[in-house]
Amino acid sequence: MNRKSATVYTYLAPNPKSAYKQLFIKGTRIRARVLYGWYACDEPMPPEEIAREFNLPLEAVHEAIAYCESNPVELQEDYAREEALSEAAGINEPEYKLHPIPRLLDPQVIARINRS
């Protein structure tokens, strides 16, 4: 399966130093999904405010929103990986709220989850 998108982005790019495969605002550590979260939450913030808050061009925020709304495969894979790590660490268990101490994961388990 070809994982590359045909879309060419002006403000978004992968971050080779990150475990996340989703796109970031170029030259920053800001994931597009972070900006989208501010836009699509229970109390949404308009793109103009997000741009001001993060000191970014408005076009970069619009590009991040469009990217996330396209539901790219790398974003889905990042969600699945985070969910698997949370599950393995016991964070999803009901008792976790009473005793919030995650299980320590072996490096082999982390590596297996990150490869999947």
Q: What pLDDT does 21 receive?
A: 93
What pLDDT score does 1 carry?
38
Q: What is the pLDDT of residue 74?
A: 94
Query: The whole model's pTM is what?
Result: 0.80
Predicted pLDDT of residue 95: 86
Task: Give the pLDDT of residue 29.
Answer: 95
Check residue 2 and give its pLDDT.
Answer: 41
pLDDT averaged over every residue in the chain: 91
* Cβ atoms < 10 Å from Cβ of 68: 21
For residues 65 and 39, the answer to whether their CB atoms sit within 8 Å is yes
Tell me the mean pLDDT per 10 residues along the chain, length 116.
66 94 96 97 95 98 97 94 92 87 90 84
Helices (H), the chain: 32-39, 47-54, 58-69, 73-89, 107-115
